[in-house]
Amino acid sequence: MTSASRSLTLFHSITREGHFVSACATCDGFFFRNKEVVVVGGGNTAVEEALYLANLASKVTLVHRRDHLRAERVMQERLFKHPKIEVVWDSAIAEICGGTQPPNVTHLRLTNTKTGVESELKADGVFIAIGHKPATELFVDQLVMRDSGYIDVEPGTTRTNVPGVFAAGDVTDEHYRQAVTAAGLGCMAALDAERWLAAGELDQREAAE
């Protein structure tokens, strides 16, 4: 199972999603080589995306609705020191603007969260990095979960609190959320399940003797 990126509640962000509006810098960053991009968010995910995109884009602007970031201090220091990254504080996206033939992004309309004053920001692409929501609603009140909604597993395994139930992929991984790490966790889950079944068969044979 997986997790979904949280989206902005904007009509224009929905209609342009997939057309220069993305939630994955490692997936789509190469489309914006030598272009100006905007990252929306203030946590670790947003800072990681901005730093990654700075290796590709000509300029990265991080837009955050508050006057401080939630990201870890060491990551903030890297962000503030990077010559290609700027931060726009106390601002929220009111509209993602661009053309339709072909679909593209030209600029953003921002609203200052403290004063209400609007401004425009040039952008060739937008990356939404306001967190992920794991697809775990099905298991609420059945499996132990962390406060963030991710399924809790025993350290170093994929075992949940329910015997015979194993969890892998983005429903347990809050940090990496990559296909390769999900595949690795899937392999771990398969091995854990195989061993659990083998142990059960052994117990049955011993009980029958």
Q: Which residues of 120-148 are buried (b: 16+ CB within 10 A; e: fewer)?
A: ebebbbbbbbbbbebebeebeeebebeee
User: Per the residue annotation, which of 24, 90, 97, 152 is the catalytic one?
Assistant: 24
**Is-catalytic flag, 187?**
no
**Is-catalytic flag, 27?**
yes
Rounded-to-integer distance, Cα 70 and Cα 82, Å:
18
* Strand-pair partners of 3: 134
* 87: Cα within 13 Å, side-chain hemisphere: 21
| Residues labelled catalytic | 24, 27-28
